[in-house]
Amino acid sequence: MDSSEFRRRGKEMVDYIADYLEGIERYPVYPDVEPGYLQPLLPTAAPQEPETYEDIIKDIEKIIMPGVTHWQSPYFFAYFPTACSYPAMLADMLCGAIGCIGFSWAASPACTELETVMMDWLGKMLELPEAFLAGKAGEGGGVIQGSASEATLVALLAARTKVIRQMQAVSPELTQAAIMEKLVAYTSDQAHSSVERAGLIGGVKLKAIPSDDNFSLRGSALQEALEQDKAAGLIPFLVVATLGTTSCCSFDNLLEVGPICNQEGIWLHIDAAYAGSAFICPEFRYLLNGVEFADSFNFNPHKWLLVNFDCSAMWVKRRTDLTGAFKMDPVYLKHSHQESGLITDYRHVKLSHEFESLVRQDPRFEICTEVILGLVCFRLKGSNQLNETLLQRINSAKKIHLVPCCLRDKFVLRFAVCARTVDSAHVQLAWEHIRELASGVLKAEKE
Ligand SMILES: *Cc1c(COP(=O)(O)O)cnc(C)c1O
């Protein structure tokens, strides 16, 4: 492809994209394919002769699109939203063209400096405490990670390195292995699975502390676990708190948990992957109160802030905790500026309450947790089996797409307002559809 063909195909692609997104409601939100559907439709090896561009685009329509789950469809109410917007797509194109990799300041100064400044902007929008900002001479700052899972892992590894160094400074005879055996990290039983996985990758114990009746991690439960483990000779070093849990969008109690972490010298990391974007709104900023106690904080602009995947924003109070833990200095990365130290839609909420009030008007259903942001957890009053059947019917009808969660021993349906283009009509259609299927399920149960 030469530049003149690129100009032509690029314009066609922009049209293709705009047509796709404008017409997305024409596609079934969830694909009607079986596992392994694609392999028989493709040659077993790359073709020896090139195919025409037209043929490739036809294949996309014919064999790829039928296997796509359309996350940007206004009938997609599963998981959490994943952001998608025209400006973000244009920016991705430009990034692709510049094609730089910003592993050091010299590798592309604008890349590093823009990241630092934008992370400060974003931090100010959230009203993060000054300590998390790079500013002109701050010790904190932000860095973009690929995902919230990576941010949790980075926090865990940094906290691990820090505690090992602290202990070895006092007792040089202690080996890293001897210390790691005793390290223990904590999170709530509602935390995202990536927290447990970070513990596995980091080779440390991770304990899930029971949450309270509102699925919130409380100070007393944490304190109890700490006392027990310290008495058993273990070394608590990290707490991962969640603001906006994945199952039901509950909030850990930072004002209780934070001071305990500070008193005990335990690193506090906050995972606000989904909810973080909402804290920009003054009416939701209170949910972030207590962030001042944290050592690191993270949320995903690629979930709810119109930035396409992947963009996970992470801040730390002391940049040296990260740079110190992971520093590598191969000679090819050295450059002369190195030592300066300076370089380094809320409509959804309304719609979720609209859905909530529809559910509350139907006495066959119940709302399972308080609706705070864009997620509604609901179920049919009755057995788990009944609700599993309902979900099965919903997802095999393929008109809308939902995923479940388990809250304690209850099987619960999650209605997450996802696409940028969802409006009240979609929500009402979705609810009518759910009610209809529910009637069928209840009728079948009676018979
Ligand atoms: C979505 C989510 C994650 C995972 O985010 P990734 O960026 O996909 O790793 C982690 N924690 C919470 C609370 C989430 O909602």
> Which tens digits make up the pLDDT trace of 159-208?
999 999 999 999 999 999 999 999 999 999 999 999 999 999 999 999 99
- Residue nearest atom 12 of ligand 1, based on CA coordinates: 273
Ligand 1 near 80 CB (within 6 A): yes
- 8 Å CB contact between 373 and 275: yes
Ligand 1 near 274 CB (within 6 A): yes
> Ligand 1, residues 147, 195, 405: which to mutate, most atoms within 8 A of Cβ?
147
Beta bridge partners of 367: 378
DSSP 8-class letter at 71: T
Whole-number Å distance, alpha carbon 274 to ligand 1 midpoint, is 7
pLDDT value of position 136: 87
- 8 Å CB contact between 94 and 22: no
Ligand 1 near 248 CB (within 6 A): no
Q: Which long-range contacts (CB under 8 A, 24 or more apart) does 84-93 make?
A: 84/21, 84/306, 84/308, 84/420, 85/306, 85/307, 85/308, 85/420, 87/306, 88/306, 88/307, 88/308, 89/17, 89/308, 92/308
- Residue nearest atom 4 of ligand 1, based on CA coordinates: 148
pLDDT value of position 338: 58
Which pairing describes strands 141-145 and 312-316: parallel, antiparallel, or unpaired? Answer: antiparallel
- 8 Å CB contact between 117 and 136: no
> Ligand 1, residues 79, 156, 194, 287: which to mutate, most atoms within 8 A of Cβ?
194
The tokens describing 319, both together, are: 């940049």
Ligand 1 near 188 CB (within 6 A): no
Whole-number Å distance, alpha carbon 270 to ligand 1 midpoint, is 12
pLDDT value of position 268: 98
Q: Is the pLDDT of residue 233 over 80?
A: yes
| Residue 205 neighbours by CB under 8 Å, 6+ apart | 183, 184, 185, 199, 234
The minimum-distance atom of ligand 1 relative to the CA of 303 is 1
- 8 Å CB contact between 337 and 413: no
Ligand 1 near 402 CB (within 6 A): no
Q: What is the pTM of this model?
A: 0.91
pLDDT value of position 344: 46
Whole-number Å distance, alpha carbon 334 to ligand 1 midpoint, is 35
Residue 319 identity (one-letter amino acid):
R
Q: What is the C-alpha separation between 193 and 200, in angstroms, rounded?
A: 11
Whole-number Å distance, alpha carbon 389 to ligand 1 midpoint, is 27
Ligand 1 near 211 CB (within 6 A): no
Q: What is the C-alpha separation between 217 and 194, in angstroms, rounded?
A: 17
The minimum-distance atom of ligand 1 relative to the CA of 245 is 13
Ligand 1 near 192 CB (within 6 A): yes
The minimum-distance atom of ligand 1 relative to the CA of 312 is 7
- 8 Å CB contact between 415 and 390: no
Whole-number Å distance, alpha carbon 187 to ligand 1 midpoint, is 14
Closest CA to 124 of 113, 115, 135, 111: 135
Residue 434: band (very low, low, confident or very high) from pLDDT cuts 50, 70, 90: very high
Torsion, CA 212, CA 217, CA 221, CA 226, rounded to 10: 160
Q: Is the pLDDT of residue 262 over 60?
A: yes
The minimum-distance atom of ligand 1 relative to the CA of 150 is 9
Q: What is the C-alpha separation between 305 and 178, in angstroms, rounded?
A: 43
- Return the percent helix, strand and coil in the chain, to nearest 5: 50, 15, 35
Which pairing describes strands 403-407 and 410-416: parallel, antiparallel, or unpaired? Answer: antiparallel
Q: What is the C-alpha separation between 317 and 132, in angstroms, rounded?
A: 5
For 34-79, the pLDDT digits (tens) are: 999 999 999 999 999 999 999 999 999 999 999 999 999 999 999 9
Tell me if residue 286 falls in helix, strand or coil. Answer: helix
